[in-house]
């Protein structure tokens, strides 16, 4: 039994506002000349690490049960040279 608070499924307005503020700030930074200069100023290794870490937020990782329970997606075929088949 519920006695107060938001109804089930109602979005939290403050959380949405904070997410929008963060998103807008990041978007402004990426579109600025400051970001372009910051990327140029770091070493190639740091740049690679930056984009690798950023990809963690952009590309979903497979769930452990998805990776171990599925059939392999790579099939191995036996390839023989034509001279071996003639024997």
pLDDT in the model for residue 49: 92
Lowest mean pLDDT among 1-5, 13-17, 49-53: 1-5
H helix runs in the chain, sequence order: 13-30, 33-41, 44-58, 64-69, 82-86
Q: For residue range 40-81, what is the model confidence (pLDDT) as tens digits? A: 999 999 999 988 998 888 887 777 765 555 565 666 666 666
Handedness of CA 57, 60, 65, 69 (dihedral sign): negative
CB 35 within 8 A of CB 29: yes
- Percent of the chain having pLDDT more than 90? 24
Tell me the pTM: 0.45
């Amino acid at each position: 039994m519920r006695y107060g608070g938001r109804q089930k499924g109602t979005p939290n307005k403050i959380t949405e506002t904070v997410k929008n503020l963060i998103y807008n700030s990041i978007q402004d930074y990426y579109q600025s000349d400051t970001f372009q200069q910051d990327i140029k100023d770091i070493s190639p290794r740091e740049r690679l690490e930056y984009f690798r870490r950023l990809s963690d937020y952009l590309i979903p990782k497979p769930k452990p049960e998805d990776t171990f329970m599925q059939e392999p997606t790579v099939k191995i075929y036996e390839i023989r040279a034509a001279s071996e088949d003639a024997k």
